[in-house]
Amino acid sequence: MQQSLGREASNAYGFRRVSPQRRAIADAALGLDGAFTVDDLTRNVALAGQPAGAATVYRAVAAMEAAGWVERVGERGGHALFAHCSDGHHHHHLVCEGCGTVRATACPVERITQDSPELDGFVVTRHEVTLYGLCPQCAVQRADGA
């Protein structure tokens, strides 16, 4: 596992200095195995007994995003949605619209951004992909008419 961070004394999470707030924020981000908004994080750290101001959370998230620990994966009701990136390799996210859980998945685009005849000369250098749907549990519940 490339990401045992979180308990190390310093420079973890991509921060230069680790304050209690940032530790709580990072832990919340790593803990919430789904996608989260800045608001979720703010609420979470408050519940964890280490409240942090909105600006602080935004700044911490920006730092983690810059460091590659989290990634913006879309939005939910006007709020930016982030997700914790399990490791450095290129991947995308499966966002369950039932329970909000987010799972990583291999990049489905790489396979076709190289040779697609439709691209017709267009050189793809970057892409954004987010898949929404239902995780197995939610899919079953829905099928059951829950």
Nearest approach in angstroms of CB 83 to its own copies is 14
54 binds DNA per the rule CB under 7 A? yes
For the record, the structure tokens of 92 come out as 């995308």
Give 117's Cβ-side CA count (13 Å radius): 0
The rounded distance, in Å, linking the Cα atoms of 33 and 82 is: 11
**Nearer to its own copies (CB atom), residue 47 or residue 132:** 132
Residue for token pair 């000369």: 121
Please provide residue 143's backbone torsions phi and psi, each rounded to the nearest 5 degrees. Answer: -65, -35
Length of the chain (residues)? 146
The rounded distance, in Å, linking the Cα atoms of 9 and 134 is: 38
Edge-first strand listing for the sheet containing 79-84: 36-37, 79-84, 70-76
Nearest approach in angstroms of CB 50 to its own copies is 30
**Nearer to DNA (CB atom), residue 50 or residue 86:** 50
Q: State the burial class of residue 113 (Cβ atoms within 10 Å of its Cβ: 0-12, 13-18, 19+).
A: middle
User: Residue 141's binding partner, choosing from its own copies, DNA, none, with beta-carbon cut-off 5 to 8 A by kind?
Assistant: none
Q: Which stretch binds DNA (CB under 7 A): 14-22, 108-116, 118-126, 128-136?
A: 14-22
Of 2, 125, 145, 146, the residue at the interface with its own copies (CB under 8 A) is 125
User: Residue 1's binding partner, choosing from its own copies, DNA, none, with beta-carbon cut-off 5 to 8 A by kind?
Assistant: none
- Kindly identify the residues of this chain, within the stretch 23-52, that bind DNA according to CB under 7 A: 25, 37-39, 51-52
In the complex, the residues that contact DNA under the rule CB under 7 A are: 9-11, 15-22, 25, 37-39, 51-56, 58-60, 62-63, 75, 78-80
